[in-house]
Each structure stands twice: as structure tokens, then as C-alpha cells.
Amino acid sequence: MKMCVPFTYAGCGGNGNNFGTSEECAARCGVGKCIILRYKTHNYNYNIGYDWRIKMCVPFTYAGCGGNGNNFGTSEECAARCGVGKCVILSE
């Protein structure tokens, strides 16, 4: 599976597999637009929401009142609504 991940670069030698941002890595390496971790939400306190900072659908604690449209029962529902494109879906 293709994935861009952070690593510590010591600054000596190296190769072309070294990028300043996740976006640069994804553009160069042809990585999909996102990775979705598949979470089970059998516990009523957890739902799935899209975290724009990491561009992923993630579980969060839901108190059950108020809320907004960023609240889903499954990772797939979140991905479909948030337009994250072709995604790799990993099971928990």
C-alpha cells in the first residue's frame, strides 16, 4: 500500500524520497487523496467525523446533543459525504 509518512531526516546523503509536506509526497508518488481507517462504532458514544487537519475520517466522542453535519455512523459514509475521493480503507 502506498502511503506518505513522516520520518526523521539526518541531513546527510538521502535520495529523492524526501519531501517537505505530505502534499508534495502524494503529488510525486501518486498516492490516493486519503486513507480511511475503518472504525466500528458499536459504542453509542463514538461516531465518525472528518478531520480536515489530517484529511481523514476518524472516530470522536459524541455526547448526543447539538452537533453538526460532520457526524457519521461509518467511515464509508464520512468519505462519501466529505468528498475525499478514492481512498484506501484500513480495518481497525
Supply the pTM of this predicted model. Answer: 0.47
Q: Which pLDDT belongs to residue 37?
A: 53
Q: How far apart are CA 31 and CA 35, in angstroms?
A: 9
Q: How far apart are CA 81 and CA 70, in angstroms?
A: 9
Q: Which pLDDT belongs to residue 90?
A: 52
Span 2-21, pLDDT tens digits: 667 777 777 777 778 888 87
**Does pLDDT of 91 surpass 70?**
no
Q: Which CATH class is domain 32-91?
A: few secondary structures
Q: What is the dihedral angle through the alpha carbons of 40, 46, 50, 51, rounded to the nearest 10 degrees?
A: -110
Q: Where are the domains of the chain?
A: 1-31, 32-91
Q: Which pLDDT belongs to residue 92?
A: 46
Span 30-78, pLDDT tens digits: 655 555 555 555 555 678 888 877 777 888 887 777 778 888 888 888 8
